Amino acid sequence: MTSLENDRFLRALLREPVDRTPVWMMRQAGRYLPEYRATRAEAGSFMALCTNPELACEVTLQPLRRYAMDAAILFSDILTIPDALGLGLYFSEGEGPRFERPVSSAAEIAALEPERAANELGYVMDAVALIRRELKGSVPLIGFAGSPWTLATYMVEGGSSKDFAKVKSLAFNEPKIMHQLLSKLAQSVAVYLSEQVRHGAQALQIFDTWGGSLSHDAYREFSLRYMTEIIEQLPREADGCRVPVIVFTKGGGQWLEAIAECGADAVGLDWTTDIGLARSRVGHRVSLQGNMDPTLLNASPDRIRAEVAQILDSYGEGTGHIFNLGHGVTPGIDPEHVAAMVEAVTELSPAYH
Amino acid sequence: MTSLENDRFLRALLREPVDRTPVWMMRQAGRYLPEYRATRAEAGSFMALCTNPELACEVTLQPLRRYAMDAAILFSDILTIPDALGLGLYFSEGEGPRFERPVSSAAEIAALEPERAANELGYVMDAVALIRRELKGSVPLIGFAGSPWTLATYMVEGGSSKDFAKVKSLAFNEPKIMHQLLSKLAQSVAVYLSEQVRHGAQALQIFDTWGGSLSHDAYREFSLRYMTEIIEQLPREADGCRVPVIVFTKGGGQWLEAIAECGADAVGLDWTTDIGLARSRVGHRVSLQGNMDPTLLNASPDRIRAEVAQILDSYGEGTGHIFNLGHGVTPGIDPEHVAAMVEAVTELSPAYH
């Protein structure tokens, strides 16, 4: 890690001593930044931005020019894999991501070719390699993917869902078919993340956005199991450095003990979890990432600072905390409020180390 | 309670011995039933159905004709109070409830008259009295209201919301104004529920549908506190019988210890909580209601029976469990699948008592 100017993010993930709590922000390369919106307009569409390595690199670096973030995260989308599997990803205004060809039947699922995804996603690997080069050793680069369960929800529902009726019906009525789908996705995600590491990613995050829609038993059977399988297959080192893995299940606060055993180095927390309590439950085995309510970025800079102080204090002294939001930053946020959050972390956290 | 033919719901709420686990279903009077849809069509609109005591009584009784439910729940909507406060409730297709006149400024909130709500809601009290009479002592009648926080989310956002940005901005930036709004709503809800008891409700449930969108600290400050205030003001007895109170915070599984201290007799659980674990955490002080994933009603009758068995087994032996879903039943469900759930509870639960 000595080749990095700033390695406190990686050190905190491995629970090694740091000078202050590292900070980054889920979706930090995003619509709340005017410079992002300009690049997005230049690209013409969201997918055009994702598939153009130069532009994806540009938006990845934009937040680092404004804020003292301790990590960069690849600009991409969790649905690149289903798109590469042939489902036809598109974005409709106000409705979020949609698929032209959702899957649900045994035949459709049997026809999916996991190895196809790897071949189609060269544009992501080109972006990873370019961003890593352009970072010039300043901060580490995070690669990421969606969890198999989360990808499956979009693939079966055809897009976002309120109650996940279709995908849950498949899971409850046809568990074998569901497991076949999840197995294939786990295989794709494992290859995809391994390739990201080979191209330069120095840490990985698995986004399990919809694992929290399940009961505890169903979560273990349909989501956690496949994240565990993926982590077992990932390279644990690159260039002699350990590549830490973060698992983030939104709504998973009740299941931290189980999540902490999946092989990840760190567990992401949404804002409904008390981080101090989480530390007492699983902090002896994993680092914790989070967990300010993203809507707090609508509050005044003073209120934001008070919330940062509260979260730092709740976690308490010592390493193992990576400051973040409890979910991605939302489009309407004032960039100055993000600055207030980052400044509060950098100014207030040294007292805990 | 001797005047009721079937009082096992009330007995289980008070953790008194029962012969089997009682069962009812949130939103049991609803769109999944063809006879409901016929009455709804006759009424002309959802609000016309709510405001007509005879029709509200009819749909309340419909599920009891089909299933061995151990309680009836008043057919109404949680948003009757904001509507009575003058916000103009309406339902737009596909978008759910909306308000013509949302509130957000200090002046708009100061102008709200909590005593006005009580005067406008005579139609609800007429329905309660009529349903109680028509039940003829068969099973108890549950009255209900939304929690102040949940009502406030709709009142400030103007309808449903994805991230609650407006109402949370008010809470974080103008906590005094937010507390004024919540205080007024707590006052209205306390009067509203007390009046329901006076007209015949034998148990009460407070629906805190959106408390789970908050952090633990914010939940205590903006939601739990006001439910506690309401419960302190409710009549604890009617006709010599205790009137038990159930508090249901969807997404509140991490905060059960705090919720169990609010004065409620029972705590409702959504399906993300392991009910056995919940019992070990708070079962010595409150009963537990729940908690099958509503989407499981899409599964086969055999799969539904297996899930019921698993939940009963997880709770274990003894009283204090009221079987329910972890949220309201959804419109597309096959009524036969509800029958399978109710039968499984009635057939499998005696072994635990």
* pLDDT confidence bin for B281, thresholds 50/70/90: very high
Tell me what pLDDT residue A309 has.
98
pLDDT greater than 90 at residue B94: no
Q: CA quadruple B256, B259, B264, B270: dihedral positive or negative?
A: negative
Whether the Cβ atoms of residue A217 and residue A256 lie closer than 8 Å to each other: no
pLDDT greater than 50 at residue A118: yes
Least CA distance to A333: which residue of chain B?
A: B165
Tell me what pLDDT residue A213 has.
98
What is the mean predicted confidence (pLDDT) over B49-69? 98
SS3 A3: coil
Least CA distance to B269: which residue of chain A?
A: A215
**What is this model's ipTM?**
0.94
What is the mean predicted confidence (pLDDT) over B224-239? 96
What is the mean predicted confidence (pLDDT) over B306-313? 98
pLDDT greater than 80 at residue B2: no
Chain CA centroid to CA A31, Å: 17
Whether the Cβ atoms of residue B154 and residue B160 lie closer than 8 Å to each other: yes
Chain CA centroid to CA A334, Å: 22
What is the mean predicted confidence (pLDDT) over B227-232? 98
Its pTM stands at 0.96
Task: Decide if B254 and A272 are in contact by the 8 Å CB cutoff.
Answer: yes
> In a 10 Å sphere around its CB, with 0-12 CB exposed, 13-18 middle and 19+ buried, how is residue A76 labelled?
buried
Q: Are strands B287-292 and B266-268 parallel, antiparallel or unpaired?
A: parallel
Q: Tell me what percent of the residues of chain B surpass a pLDDT of 70.
A: 99
SS3 A146: strand
Whether the Cβ atoms of residue B153 and residue B224 lie closer than 8 Å to each other: no
What is the mean predicted confidence (pLDDT) over B21-40? 97
What is the mean predicted confidence (pLDDT) over B163-182? 97
Tell me what pLDDT residue A178 has.
98
- What does pLDDT average to over chain B? 96
pLDDT tens by residue, A20-42 = 999 999 999 999 999 999 999 99
Which is higher by pLDDT, A34 or B162?
Answer: A34
Q: How far apart are CA B92 and CA A35, in angstroms?
A: 37
Residue positions of B annotated with a catalytic role? 27, 31, 40, 77, 154
Chain CA centroid to CA B215, Å: 22
- What does pLDDT average to over chain A? 96
Chain CA centroid to CA A61, Å: 17
SS3 A22: coil
Least CA distance to A314: which residue of chain B?
A: B217
What is the mean predicted confidence (pLDDT) over B89-101? 87
For residue B76, give how far its alpha carbon lies from the nearest alpha carbon of chain A (Å): 22
Least confident of A95-104, B66-75, B149-158: A95-104
Tell me what pLDDT residue A117 has.
84
* pLDDT confidence bin for A1, thresholds 50/70/90: very low
Tell me what pLDDT residue A21 has.
98
pLDDT greater than 90 at residue B62: yes
Contacts of A164 in chain B (CB under 8 A): 295
E strand spans, chain A: 72-73, 89-92, 96-99, 141-146, 203-208, 237-238, 241-242, 245-249, 266-268, 287-292, 321-325
Least confident of A91-105, A160-174, B245-259, B299-313: A91-105
For residue B65, give how far its alpha carbon lies from the nearest alpha carbon of chain A (Å): 27
pLDDT greater than 50 at residue B1: no
What is the mean predicted confidence (pLDDT) over B94-98? 84
What is the mean predicted confidence (pLDDT) over A298-324? 98
Q: Tell me what percent of the residues of chain B surpass a pLDDT of 90.
A: 95
Q: Tell me what percent of the residues of chain A surpass a pLDDT of 70.
A: 99
Tell me what pLDDT residue A95 has.
76
Tell me what pLDDT residue A312 has.
98
Task: Decide if A215 and B294 are in contact by the 8 Å CB cutoff.
Answer: no
* pLDDT confidence bin for B319, thresholds 50/70/90: very high
pLDDT greater than 70 at residue A2: no
Least confident of B7-21, B113-127, B259-273: B113-127
Beta carbon pairs, A and B, within 8 Å: 92
